């Protein structure tokens, strides 16, 4: 797969959109952690939007990026396996958090703290993914100045 920038651009654009949703989750979760329990419904709505966007993005990466990574030898195969497992873990954690918000099976403050931790972990995961997606070893040539 030639490096035309389209895959990297899409991945980065998706990550920015997901981070925007994560920021909204973080804002509402922070208010709940400070005692605004009435916002649980808003947190659930924001968390569902984050989960759905993450599912869609991960499916796109699985269809588009993973086959290319696997074709790049041992390094690419290891990265594909890592990314695939990371996707499963991300969705599991977000889905479990959304389920907790729907059932309210734990205290609101606990749910809010879990969502804040989830957002923090998601930021790290997306930064790691971008580093991987933009790695010149995967694409077979260095990034041009326009791509940096």
pLDDT tens digits for 78-121?
A: 888 988 998 999 899 889 888 888 888 888 888 899 899 999 99
Identify the residue with better confidence: 74 or 2: 74
**pLDDT given at position 7:** 79
What are the residues whose beta carbons fall under 8 Å from the beta carbon of 76, sequence distance 6 or more? 68, 69, 70, 138
Torsion angle defined by CA atoms of residues 121, 19, 92 and 112, in that order, rounded to the nearest 10 degrees? 70
pLDDT tens across 13-61, in order? 999 999 999 999 999 999 999 999 899 999 999 999 999 999 999 999 9
> pLDDT-based confidence at 132, cuts 50/70/90?
confident
**pLDDT given at position 4:** 55
Q: Is the pLDDT of residue 138 over 90?
A: no
- CATH no., domain 6-139: 1.20.120.520
**pLDDT given at position 26:** 96
């Amino acid at each position: 797969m030639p490096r035309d920038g389209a895959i990297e651009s899409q991945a980065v654009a998706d990550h920015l959109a997901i981070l925007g949703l994560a920021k909204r989750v973080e804002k509402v979760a922070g208010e709940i952690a400070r005692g605004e329990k009435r916002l649980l419904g808003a947190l659930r709505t924001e968390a569902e939007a984050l989960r759905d966007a993450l599912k869609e993005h991960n499916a796109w990466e699985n269809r588009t990026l993973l086959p290319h990574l696997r074709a790049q030898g041992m390094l690419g195969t290891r990265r594909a396996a890592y990314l695939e497992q990371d996707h499963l873990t991300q969705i599991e954690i977000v889905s479990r958090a959304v389920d907790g918000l729907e059932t309210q099976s734990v205290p609101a403050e606990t749910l809010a703290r879990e969502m804040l931790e989830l957002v923090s972990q998601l930021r790290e995961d997306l930064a790691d993914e971008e580093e991987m997606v933009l790695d010149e070893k995967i694409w077979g040539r260095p990034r041009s100045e326009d791509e940096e």
